[in-house]
Amino acid sequence: MTGASDIQLAALISLGEQRATELRNLIRDVPGFPHDPIIFRDITPLLANGTAFQDVIEAFASAAKDLKVDVVAGMEARGFILGAALAIRLGVGVIPLRKAGKLPPPVIRVDYGLEYGSAAMELTAGTLPVGSNVLIVDDVLATGGTALAAVELVERSGGNVSALLFLMELIGLGGAERLDGYRTETLLRVT
């Protein structure tokens, strides 16, 4: 937990610079994981701190205050944690957007490419009422491939994407640009 200058506090600054810095310092930097030159940003210490976790959820709620939201969709896996807490805070339901093969049929499936292969995301068919306003939540926005798959899954299920919220955005990987046309908010930006 370093407080490295490569992380901009972005929307988290709404909590005040000192508190935003304290929360950033709860994110553990793990160089070389899963391999060099990656620096993995471990949010486990932040989630384990009740006050910090609550501050993050309040920052998300603040970012969503002017949105029409009927349900929060959390992307597997840390998006489940953030999304469930935010759904409770907003007084709406939560749905999981799962990796392929984790849900019983019938499912709606979206296949998508990754920088190192391919993957698929699924949602139980009929879970999302047609016309629902959906707030998509996850921990990290990188290249945007997973986020675009989540958007497609929601839209193919008959939902409307209100916005996408991320704890961190990895700048320079093009994720935000790929989501052009959708409201996207991040609390921290990693350079």
Q: Which residues are catalytic?
A: 78, 115
How far, CA to CA in Å, does 18 sit from each of 3, 8, 189?
12, 13, 17
107 contacts 122 by C-beta, under 8 angstroms: yes
Q: How many CB atoms lie within 10 A of CB 164?
A: 27
Residue 137 and residue 165 in contact, taking contact as beta carbons nearer than 8 Å: yes
CA 99 to each of CA 118, 122, 153: distance values in angstroms, whole numbers, following the listed order: 11, 6, 12
Rounded Cα distance between 12 and 152, Å, is 28
